[in-house]
Amino acid sequence: MKLKKLPQEYEKAIPVLNKLEQAGYEAYFVGGSVRDILLNQEIHDVDIATSAFPEEIKKLFPKTIDIGIEHGTVLVLVDEEQYEITTFRTESTYQDYRRPDHVEFVRSLEEDLKRRDFTINAFALKEDGQIIDLFDGLADLENHILRAVGDPQERFHEDALRMMRGIRFVSQLGFKLEQETAEAIEMNHSLLGKISVERINVEFIKMLLGKERSAGLKTFVETKCYIYCPGLRDYGEALLRFSDLSNKPLKSEAQAWALLIDQLALQESQIRVFLKEWKCSNQMIKEVQLIVHGLNLRKKQQLSALDLYQLGKEASLKVEELMVYFGEVPQLREVSEKYDQLCIKSMRELAIDGKLLLAESSKPPGKWMSDALQFAEQAVIEGKVANKANELFFFLKQNNVL
């Protein structure tokens, strides 16, 4: 197969391939971006594989960075662009199911492509648009089949994370695992216990954000991979219920975590421990906690002015977007307008503060001050009193708060 036109990102990189070839080496575009071109999807990275060894690459290009030279990868800087160029290589045994014990550089493209994970990721592309397909990946691409290159048992023992990548591709691309590949994942699912949570987290979230999340989740459960993911061992049925929700793609990682937590029926007090097991950042945990709290409120009734104020506009809209998974049409415009109409958006906008409270009262400083400000804050938000200092002081005295 030959492409009539390469995307602009590849066109800009052709001089890099030409320079390698003029020096007597082979060079090709490789990786997931080649697959994405064939699927008419946006590409993100331009990866190049070559028969040139790392030191030979560095002699050809004046500006390089050793980003993974022990594995044959050199970052080449050309004008405003940068390209990862990797030497053809073969890999030895994998004692830890993650990294090869030894990498050997070779001059053969076929030997290099043999170590790729799936046939649809094992293409090489020449600068003239010619596709090199040694493992019938084009047929699998056309039939929406996800098949391991060669023996799936070997591929998953080399890097057990490939099992999660396969499930992620089921969700992202809408492809189906080829039977032998699926059986190998189920047979070797326990190897995920050898993989760092951080690496699993990346693939898991990409799966949850995929356009075919339902199929991804079902495959995740059917292959038993969920058992070796943090906090999910006892939640197979809950994950299948999750897969029965609307297949509308989720928009953000925080929403994905929030909807998962809802489907697992975790308590709000359990969220932090659960997400810490997944090695999520404190910022992500805080955002998810806020969305879950808002979702619990919203599932009972429309968010009140006070709810919107406490959640903030961004979290309120994210909560409302999730209502599509509970059979409701999200009222995004209404929520946005209701938030915009709030008298104040934060405590800083309140017409009184601690200093003014002390000046108005004969009481000594104490906890009563924060209680009074919170009481005034809520009253303003709920429209019980105008946000004016004199009216707020009168309101507080009426209610025996000041």
Q: Where is the binding site, in residues?
A: 32, 35, 45, 47, 116, 159, 162, 165, 168
* DSSP state for residue 363 in the 8-state scheme: S
Annotated binding site for CTP: 32, 35, 116, 159, 162, 165, 168
Instruction: Determine the residue type at 253.
Output: E
The pair of structure tokens assigned to 253 is 């990682």
* DSSP state for residue 51 in the 8-state scheme: S
Q: Assign 230 to helix, strand or coil.
A: coil
Residue 131 pairs in a beta bridge with 125
The residues, any chain, with a CB within 8 Å of residue 208's CB and separated by 6 or more, are 171, 216, 217, 250, 256, 260
The pair of structure tokens assigned to 114 is 């043999």
Q: How far apart are the first and last CA of the chain?
A: 81
Annotated binding site for Mg(2+): 45, 47
Q: CA nearest 182: which of 194, 201, 169, 195? A: 169
The answer to whether the Cα torsion of 43, 212, 150, 105 is positive or negative is: positive
> Distance between CA atoms of 401 and 91, rounded to whole angstroms?
73
> Distance between CA atoms of 373 and 352, rounded to whole angstroms?
8
Instruction: Determine the residue type at 183.
Output: E
